[in-house]
């Protein structure tokens, strides 16, 4: 009943095509896995996000904020309450000299293209990283020796009381694949990145090289959520998993990629349960053989 009331409230300020009921989350994750969300909303600006959160609080309904779902595994029973998706519906960009400012829903690939078009260097490492800039900033995504912490200057966030304020890079508490924004008590609205003027041809060559290397080494043709595990200190998850003899190991429709053992791929309508069992098996084998604990990099959401 609460959900019906909430849906009616949301319709007062968001058009119906941007509110979806019982929406299969497999349609919103790169893994193509996940049961239905009670309500999925696609806001277009910060004011709509504030009003959605207020409505959820008033009705006592939980909410969850996501980007493009490229690092997300949703459980088979789905997500109760409201999913607020910030992706192509929330993706404006402004470029002033060497500063790129974009909303959290901007695709990383679009930001990388904008940097190239404006002969700005510093985002080359992100070439081929899937998902949104917001997701990349929150998790401090990185590759090829670079990471978002290298380019982020400041961000604007919305707290759960509806206040919008600025945070500098130093306040984001960046570390390997982590930031204070992962606590979930603030919603990233936009980010300002400071890049360096450079030579367009050199920037383009580096971007093309990184994309080519990704295609050779990563199973980009199969549904996955990117690297399944964080890199353990002084080692590589993919190397350990391969040495444990798990390349191609399969549970249900989920498999350790035979191209890159650091990836779990959905090869045949995998369920979330398939992936979770495979993660546990990998962790156990690597622990038994090398006494190293692997920590998942994939974010898991939904009803158990």
Report, as residue numbers or ranges, the catalytic residues: 177, 227, 297
**Closest C-alpha to 108, from 146, 67, 66:** 67
Residue 69 burial (CB count, 10 A): 28
Spell out the alpha helix ranges (H) of the chain: 2-11, 46-59, 108-117, 133-139, 200-217, 237-243, 272-290
**Closest C-alpha to 64, from 13, 91, 29, 32:** 29
Q: Given its phi and psi angles, is residue 19 left (phi above 0), alpha (psi -120 to 50 degrees) or beta?
A: beta
The Cα 197–Cα 127 span in angstroms is 17
Residue 143 burial (CB count, 10 A): 16
3-state secondary structure of 159: strand
Residue tagged 């519906």 (tokens)? 89
CA distances from 172 to 59, 157, 162, 187 (A): 31, 11, 19, 13
**Closest C-alpha to 5, from 43, 66, 60, 65:** 60
Which residues, including other chains, have CB under 8 Å from residue 72's CB and lie 6 or more apart?
29, 30, 31, 66, 225, 298, 299, 300, 301
Residue tagged 């349609």 (tokens)? 27
Residue 202 burial (CB count, 10 A): 12
Pull the structure tokens for residue 283: 């962790």
């Amino acid at each position: 009943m609460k959900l019906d009331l909430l849906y009616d409230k949301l319709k007062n300020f968001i058009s119906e095509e941007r509110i979806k009921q019982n929406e299969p989350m497999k349609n919103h994750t790169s893994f193509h896995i996940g049961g239905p969300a009670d309500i999925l909303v696609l806001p277009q600006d910060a004011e709509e996000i504030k009003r959605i959160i207020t409505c959820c609080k008033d009705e006592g309904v939980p909410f969850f904020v996501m980007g493009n779902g490229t690092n997300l595994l949703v459980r088979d029973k789905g997500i109760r309450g409201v999913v607020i998706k910030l992706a192509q519906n929330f993706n404006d960009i402004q470029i002033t000299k060497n500063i790129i400012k974009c909303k959290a829903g901007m695709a990383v690939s679009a930001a990388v293209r904008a940097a190239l078009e404006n002969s700005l260097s510093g985002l080359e490492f992100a070439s081929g990283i899937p998902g949104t800039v917001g997701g990349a900033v929150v998790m401090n995504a990185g590759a090829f020796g670079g990471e978002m912490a290298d380019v982020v200057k400041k961000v604007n966030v919305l707290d759960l009381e509806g206040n919008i304020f600025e945070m500098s890079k130093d306040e984001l508490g960046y570390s390997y694949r982590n930031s204070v924004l992962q606590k979930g008590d603030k919603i990233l609205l936009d980010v300002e990145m400071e890049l360096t003027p450079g030579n367009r041809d050199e920037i383009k060559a580096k971007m093309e090289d990184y994309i080519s290397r990704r295609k050779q080494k990563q199973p980009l043709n199969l549904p996955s959520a990117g690297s399944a595990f964080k890199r353990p200190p002084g080692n590589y998850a993919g190397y350990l998993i391969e040495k444990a003899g798990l390349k191609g190991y399969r549970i249900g429709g989920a498999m350790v990629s035979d191209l890159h053992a650091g990836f779990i791929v959905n090869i045949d309508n995998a369920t979330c349960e398939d992936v979770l069992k495979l993660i546990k098996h990998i962790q156990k084998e690597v622990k038994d053989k090398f006494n190293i604990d692997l920590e998942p990099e994939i974010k898991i959401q939904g009803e158990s």
